[in-house]
Structure 1
Amino acid sequence: MLGAAAPTATKDTMPHHDDPRESDEGLTPSSPSARYQTLRRWTLSTADGIRTVRQQLRAELGLGDSPSGTLGTVPERMILVASELAANAIEHGRPPTIVTLGRDGSRYLLEVADHDPYSVPVLAGHRAPGAGGFGLQIARRVGQDVGWYTTGTTKHIWVTFSPHD
Structure 2
Amino acid sequence: MTSEDQHSAAVASWTQDSPVPVQAGEQRLTLTLESLAGLVQVRRQVRAFLVSGLDDGTGAAGQDAVGDAVMVIDELTSNALRHGSPPSRLLIRDEQAAWTVVVVDGAPGRLPTPATGRVEGEGGYGLYMVSDLTESHGVHYEADRKLVWARLAKPAGGS
TM tier relative to shorter chain: 0.7 to 0.9
TM-score by length of 2: 0.80
Which residue in the other structure is 2:88 paired with? 97
Distance in 1, matches of 2:90 and 2:128, equals 18
Structure with more of its chain in helix, by fraction: 2
Structure 2's unaligned 5+ residue stretches are none
Contact 1:144 1:162 in 2 (8 A): yes
The structure-2 alpha-carbon separation of the partners of 1:25 and 1:132, relative to structure 1 and needing over 3 Å to count, comes to farther
SS of 2:3 mapped into structure 1:
coil
Which residue in the other structure is 1:86 paired with? 77
The structure-2 alpha-carbon separation of the partners of 1:25 and 1:34, relative to structure 1 and needing over 3 Å to count, comes to closer
Which residue in the other structure is 2:22 paired with? 34
Which residue in the other structure is 1:12 paired with? none
CA-to-aligned-CA distance 1:121-153 (integer Å, 9 cap, x gap): 212223212322222111101011011102222
SS of 1:62 mapped into structure 2:
helix
Q: Relative to structure 2, which stretch is displaced further, 137-146 or 72-81?
A: 72-81
Contact 2:61 2:155 in 1 (8 A): no
Which residue in the other structure is 1:128 paired with? 119
- 1:86-165 to 2 correspondence within 5 Å? 86-163=77-154
CA-to-aligned-CA distance 1:50-98 (integer Å, 9 cap, x gap): 11111011111227x9872673522111100111111111111102221
Structure 1's unaligned 5+ residue stretches are 1-6, 8-14
Q: CA RMSD in A?
A: 2.8
Distance in 1, matches of 2:48 and 2:75, equals 19
Aligned residues: 151
Contact 1:24 1:122 in 2 (8 A): no
Distance in 2, matches of 1:39 and 1:147, equals 19
Which residue in the other structure is 1:52 paired with? 41
TM-score by length of 1: 0.78
The structure-2 alpha-carbon separation of the partners of 1:25 and 1:97, relative to structure 1 and needing over 3 Å to count, comes to same
